[in-house]
Amino acid sequence: LGFWETGLLTSDGLRHLILPALTLSSIMLPLFIRLVRGAMLDELGHDYVRTARAKGASPLRVWLSHALRNALLPLVAVGGLQIGTLVAYTLLTETVFQWPGMGFLFLEAVTRADIPLVTTYLVFVGLLFVVTNTIVDIVSLMLDPRISFEGTR
C-alpha cells in the first residue's frame, strides 16, 4: 500500500499528523461542546434523574447511566452529519499544511477536467455518507431501544 515508504506509520509520520488532526478537530469541537452541554442540562432536569438521585444512586452513576446515555443521541446524529464538514475542511487543511491528499487530488481533477476522477471522488464521498448514516442509525438504536426502524402499517 505504500504506507511504510511514505513514512505515515512511523513515529515521525504520526508526529506530523498532530497539527492537521488538531486543526480538523478544533473546527467541530465548539459545536459538540455546546451540544453535549445543552443535552446534559436538559437530561439532568428530567424526573427519572431526580428519581435516581432520590434512590441514592451515586452522582457518577446518575451522570453516566441516566443522563449521558440519553444525551449522546443528538451528539451521534450531529456527528454523522458533520462528516461532510470534515471532508470539506480537509481541502483547506491539506492546502495549509502542504500535505496532498484526496482533497488536493479532487481539486486537481476539477481544474484539469478529469471527469472520471471527479466522479469517483463524488461516489466515494456519497458512499462515505451512506456508511456513516447507517452506523449512526445502528448506534442510535443501541443507545435508545425505543427507536424503531420498522415502518408503520
Kindly report the pTM of this predicted structure: 0.70
Q: How sure is the predictor about 4, in pLDDT bands with cuts at 50, 70 and 90?
A: low
pLDDT in tens, 133-151: 899 888 888 887 777 767 6
For 2-152, where are the alpha helices, taking DSSP H only?
A: 3-6, 11-15, 18-44, 47-54, 59-61, 69-81, 83-96, 102-111, 115-143
Inter-residue contact 133 to 76 (CB < 8 Å): no
Inter-residue contact 71 to 36 (CB < 8 Å): yes
Inter-residue contact 93 to 24 (CB < 8 Å): yes
pLDDT in tens, 15-69: 878 888 898 888 889 999 999 999 999 988 889 888 988 998 898 988 888 888 8
Rounded CA-CA distance 49/122 in Å is: 45
